[in-house]
A = this chain, B = another copy of it.
Amino acid sequence: MIRIAVDAMGGDDAPHTEVEGAVAAARELDVRILLVGKPESVRHELARHPHRGLPIEIVPASEVIAMTDSPTQAVRKKRDSSVHVAAKLVRAGDADGFISAGNTGAVMATAYFILGTLPSVDRPALAAPFPTSRGSVSVMLDVGANVDSKPAHLEQFAVMGEIYYRAIFGTRRPRVALLSIGEEEVKGNELTREAFNRLKKMELNFHGNVEGRDVFAGTADVIVCDGFIGNVALKISEGLVEHIVTTLKEGLSSTLRAQVGAVLARQAFQDFKKKMDYSEYGGAPLLGVRGVTVIGHGRSNANAIKNAVRVAAELARCKINEKIEQELDAVTAAARS
């Protein structure tokens, strides 16, 4: 049975949400859960959910990483944090992967420090799902693990993203594209022009450049970019959704007539919110580290935690890191010959 370590102390509402999501995962998915955190707090939360007979155990960790801790502090100073302990379980082979909804920078740094990168990978990449108008999901990477990427890094991101997309979304030949500012090959900046040149020679279903407006249109399945760009794209999207929800709410409560309308249309709004909801998509895997790592949003609800466990379990089950190694070795061999 696949074993997933869950950082019980990570999210804004930890360990409440983490424990609820972990119990749901243990009940609904074929996984054993290692709940990592302060034993008293975790046990207290666990007591609130019926879990007899479920494959859940508690692994103690005495420290908690705060949202305000810097990645360096998290890695160097808090060596018994729940993230540290969860990553060490993976390194020791006692877990097949771990998830955390904690401080993203700290989780990435800890995973990187404890697990290291795969031999063929220069830099790990964080892969975030975006819902699209086609009803499909586009995955963008990197969304913030690295900045100032070189073309060779984008090449590796493309390979890792494609394997991840196949594993989780079941598409046999995902369309891989480069995020740029024009569709033609010559458009973009120095980085994307050279990366385009490399990607078009690879064994990929390469779709060329896509622009920002194509991301939510579902024009491509895997969208490759430098982590600075990807992070701005992700955060501006989150900010815009918030802005729109606020603006709509204000409008819909401004008159009695609008209020009645909003009540009648409630189901439609709930469906809309569900479609916009990141929690359905199960977090963002940090690809390229030596061990399955999935990072959830700080505001993850129990459903998001459960889905992150599902994604981590599927990535472990399909041996994603072995596949990444094989394919990157093939790319290197092809480049040499």
Binding site for B on A (CB under 8 A): 105, 131-133, 144, 147-148, 179-182, 188-190, 211-217, 225, 227-229, 231-244, 246-248, 251-252, 254-255, 257-258, 260-269, 271-272, 275-276
The docked-state distance in angstroms from the alpha carbon of A212 to that of B255 is 32
Separation in Å of the A212 CB from the closest CB of chain B? 3
Add 19 more A-B contacts to A232-B232, A261-B265, A262-B268 (CB < 8 A). Answer: A181-B227, A181-B231, A181-B235, A188-B228, A212-B234, A213-B238, A216-B236, A217-B239, A217-B242, A229-B232, A236-B237, A248-B268, A248-B272, A251-B272, A252-B268, A255-B268, A261-B261, A261-B263, A265-B265
Measured between alpha carbons, how far is A265 from B263 in the docked complex, in Å? 10
The reply to whether B229 and A214 form a contact with Cβ atoms under 8 Å apart is: no
Q: Which residues on the B side are within 8 Å of A275 (C-beta)?
A: 247
- Cβ B272 vs Cβ A247 within 8 A: yes
| Residues of B with C-beta under 8 A to A225 | 232
Q: Given the complex of chains A and B, what is the CA–CA distance between A282 and B178 in angstroms? A: 31
Complex CA distance for A182 and B103, rounded to whole angstroms: 13
- In the complex, are the beta carbons of B132 and A232 less than 8 A apart? no
For A144, the chain B residues whose CB sits under 8 A away are: 181
